[in-house]
Every structure is written in structure tokens, then in C-alpha cells.
Structure 1
């Protein structure tokens, strides 16, 4: 069996929150990520979905090295990406890069496209102008732009073109893993399909692995090989896209799927409420939370485990 490209084991991220007492007394720990584990294979698109505050972005930032984990291990090709022995940010940048959500805020308005794409190359030791220009030209063509675009500035481009530039910048160092943070949510609906197809084409052409953070389930369904559903810092369900979208088991996953807008159906509140009425039972074991009430984020979650209910399909249940 081929070893995974990225392996995350028992990842915890906690943040100290000061209370209202004198001299900061009453400090509590906010449990943002609670012991999640998953792997990412070469050429795979793995999506993490869930509502705002579920911990999916904190997980991505930990992998990128922008957030230090409290506990756990993150490995890239078997080597640690965090903690003792982890590579510096320069080395990490060659392995993992990010495409940001907002193409209007992620580009420096004072830098030309050429300057934005050349900066990471120069930081990583590329000094020959001809080599830098050659890489920029190839990358612009890869994302559907022309070499002439290199001399322009961000304000001269549309939102879709800016996101293409952001993708080019993420790929200029030839990383194997790309974190996609809501890559099309800030774009017009008419442009989203173009960017999604571009990302899929680049994945196949360059052999990329995607870790996508999203709450847009229509995009997730279209792009993903596997899906992780997060709820208050825990993975409550994981499986292939078909298992998650066609046979969701956890009540929270069912609520997410039921909330996907369908223009051909009238809004039916009763259907949304009834989507968890026929939740399957698993040997009498209960779910830790059904998603109807918010857990206390300042306490560790109750003991539970991911239980396999089908081929590559797991759901979180209370410990036996």
C-alpha cells in the first residue's frame, strides 16, 4: 500500500481565552480542534466541510505552519511538518502552498503580476532573470493567461483573472500539496465553473493533491474524492463523496446535505426538520451530538471514536 503524502495524527489546537476577572483570572482554553486524524494521498482532493467555527480553517493553518498545534503530529512524506525536527517555512513552502479565498485582497496592488510571481522564486534561490521569466511564462499559460499579463497590475484584472494569478503564485514553486480555502466563493457564479475546471485540469496535469476547505457543498461534491465533515473541532463523518452525499449517516451531515439549495424544490421546513428522523442505529451506540445543540467549546468533548460502517465510510459514535 502506498504511503500517504500527508498524514495528520491526533491533532489538537487550543487557544487561551482570558476571563473577565482581575489580572486575567479565569483563563479558559477554547478547544478549536479536538484530536482529528486523516491522510491525503498523491493526486487526491480531500475536502473538509462544516459550518463556520468548526475548526476546518485552523486545521489548514496548522498544516501550512501558520498555526502551531497544541498536540499531535503532521507528517509530509513521513517527515514532521510541525514540532521538533520540522522544516523551516522556506522548506515547507516547497511542499505546501495555499490558494486564498479573496482574490481582491490576496494580491499586492503595488506589485505587477511579474513581481508577485518572481518574489517566491527569488526567495528560494532563483537568480537568473531568464529562468525566472521562463517559469513565469509557463505558469501564466498553465492558468489560462498570457505572458503579456505579467506586466499588468491587479486592478487591471477581473475577479476570475485575479484568482488565476493567485493559483499561479501558489504553484510557481511546484508544491505537491495545495490548500484551497474557499477557492471560488468570492467569484461570480458565471466564473466559478471556469476556476473549478482549471483546478481539476491542473491537478491532473501536475499531479497535485488538494486539501479543500469549504462550506459550498456543490463545489465539494464536484471536486472531491473524499470528504471529512467537521463539527466543533471533531471529524463526525468521513468517506468518499458518494457515501457522504448519497448515504450520510451522522445527523449533522444529514442536516448539511438537506440545507443544500435546490431551485426546483420549494423550501420545506418540515423536510429540513425530518432529515434526521430515520438516522440509522449502530449496535445501540449513540452519537455524541446530533448537531441540534452546540457543545461547550471550553471543555474537552466526551469520549468517542470513528467507527467504520462501510468501505471507507466512518461515523463518530460514543465510546463503547
Structure 2
């Protein structure tokens, strides 16, 4: 049996914090703790959770932009971390990232054509007219026109800029795209266009996606599997239908229950109908800060299987 396209094993990412006083003890922020995830070829894995839960840090570590404290990441069974890891240049042909802000991620001093073609020349793939032809083909593929290559980022709308960001990510023909909130900065009508574009590209190019998002309506629409993170840990993971129809961990229930329900708004209903804790699940504090109790024992690192493709973190 072939290994998953991407495998994350017991990933931990720590950040040093400032001392509380001059000679106080060193402090560490454990941003990601014991994360185990897999991404299969051709699927979309979405990582969801509130701000600060560690989902973007996990994505940056997959990209090689953040060093892990421990654990490993494997691509087709080969390590992406540690002494045998590929160089940053080689890694760029494995995974690319589409960023949240389509304007801030583009160089305002470069034309779109130069921005896209420079990757081809840097990696020795194509130069000159061949590179220009590839840029024109990619711009057409993402719904733009070849003459857009001569323009600068400020001449485009937000949706067009995000299409350019997607084109840039695809220039080296990577196997994986990491999508960090790819539509959150766009209008609702434009969001639908970008999501449809991503789904079409996934099918035609055989891409695999890791999507970071807080918008559960987008996640439900595009995902094959969903991983729910809570304070650096994955607390529930499974196929999207199981997660949305049978949420088990109380934090997952609270997330799904917080999605606005048009029927509830019309009838004046209040509250979070799915937020009640489930006996036996890992610790969860339903206060407004969503913080776990620091005095409780550490949670187990393994998720317990409760269905064919559904796992949840249970209490000890």
C-alpha cells in the first residue's frame, strides 16, 4: 500500500516568550502539540478552529517557513524535516501557498508577468519566450487574459489579485497547495468564483489542498476531510459529512452551532443548539475565551476512532 501524499507525525511547534521579570524562568508557548494528520492525493483537508488555535502555524511548518520543535513531516514517505530534508528550493516544487491577503502577497514593483516568470527562470524550467508562453497559459487557466502580464498588482481588483496568487502558486506545478484563508478578504460573490476555480483546478491538475479556514460554510463546500484544532491540538478529525452531521467533541459542536442559521434568525431562536458537552470527551471550557483549564491533567495525544473515518480526542 502506497503511503499518503503528506503525513504529519506528532508535530510540535514552540515559541519562546519574554520572561515575566528580569531573572524569571524561561517561558514557552506551545502553539502546536502532538498533531497527527494525513493528506491523500487529490483530496482537500481543511483545518478549522478559532484564531490562535495553531492551524496557520501548522500550515507554515508544512511549507518549511517554521521549524518544528519535534515531530516529522513526510512527503510520499520521504522526510521534509530534519537532516535529510530537501532544500527550500526543492521544497517549492512540492508545496506552494495561497495567502489570505491577495494584495500584500504580491510585489507592487513587479509586473505580473515578471513575477510569474521569475520562478521558472530561478528553477531552470523556462526562459524568454517559452516562459512568457507558460505565463500566458497560466493566466488564461485562472480566468485572466495574457495581456494582464504587463500590468501591476494595483491595477487589479481583489478577486483578480487572488487569481494571480493562485497562478503564481501553480507555476512550478506543485503537488500540494496550502490555502490560508483564501477567500476571507473577498466579497461573497467573488468568494464563490474563487472557490469554484480552486475546485476546477483540483480536478484538472490533480492537486491536493490543505485549507486553513474559519468559515465553515466554505469548508463544508470544498472539503473531503476536516480536522478541528483547539489550543494547538487536533480534537476531532474525519470526513466532512461525519464532522458536520455528528460532531462529537464539545468544541466542534460549539463551532458548528455558532454558524448563523437563517431559519433561527427568522423565528427569533437563540443559543447554540449543538454546544452541549458529550460525556467522555476531552476537556473544554465553554466560556467566551474558549480556554482549557490549566490545572487539569494533560490530554492524551491519540485520537480514538468512533467511526470508519471519524476520530475524536477522549478524556483520560
Question: Shorter-chain TM-score: which interval?
Answer: over 0.9
Question: 2:231 is matched with which residue?
Answer: 232
Question: 1:26 is matched with which residue?
Answer: 25
C-alpha displacement at 1:265, in angstroms? 2.2
Partner of 1:149, secondary structure, is: helix
Give, in whole Å, the separation in 1 of the partners of 2:137 and 2:193. 19
Question: 1:185 is matched with which residue?
Answer: 184
C-alpha displacement at 1:304, in angstroms? 4.9
Give, in whole Å, the separation in 2 of the partners of 1:141 and 1:300. 55
Cα RMSD over matched residues?
1.9
Could you tell me whether the CA contact under 8 Å between 1:81 and 1:87 is conserved in 2? yes
Alpha carbons of 1:179 and 1:67: their partners in 2 closer, same or farther (altered >3 Å)?
same
What's the CA shift string for 1:209-266, capped at 9, x where partnerless? 0000000000000000000000000000001110111110110000000111123322
Question: 2:159 is matched with which residue?
Answer: 160
C-alpha displacement at 1:121, in angstroms? 1.2
Give the gaps of 5 or more residues in structure 1.
none
Q: For this pair of structures, how many residues does the alignment match?
A: 313
Alpha carbons of 1:247 and 1:312: their partners in 2 closer, same or farther (altered >3 Å)?
same
2:282 to 260, 283, 287: 287
Question: 2:4 is matched with which residue?
Answer: 4
Partner of 1:166, secondary structure, is: helix
Could you tell me whether the CA contact under 8 Å between 2:285 and 2:292 is conserved in 1? no
C-alpha displacement at 1:16, in angstroms? 1.2
Could you tell me whether the CA contact under 8 Å between 1:29 and 1:298 is conserved in 2? no
Task: Tell me the TM-score normalised to structure 2 length.
Answer: 0.94
Could you tell me whether the CA contact under 8 Å between 2:100 and 2:184 is conserved in 1? yes
C-alpha displacement at 1:290, in angstroms? 5.0
What's the CA shift string for 1:28-75, capped at 9, x where partnerless? 111100001011001000000000000000000000000000000101
Q: What is the 5 A alignment of 1:120-199?
A: 120-199=119-198
What's the CA shift string for 1:85-118, capped at 9, x where partnerless? 1011000000000000011111111110101101
Could you tell me whether the CA contact under 8 Å between 2:283 and 2:293 is conserved in 1? no
Correspondence 1:104 to 2:103: yes
Task: Tell me the TM-score normalised to structure 1 length.
Answer: 0.93
Partner of 2:30, secondary structure, is: strand
Question: 1:77 is matched with which residue?
Answer: 76
Alpha carbons of 1:299 and 1:137: their partners in 2 closer, same or farther (altered >3 Å)?
farther
More deviation, 227-236/113-122: 113-122
Give the gaps of 5 or more residues in structure 2.
none
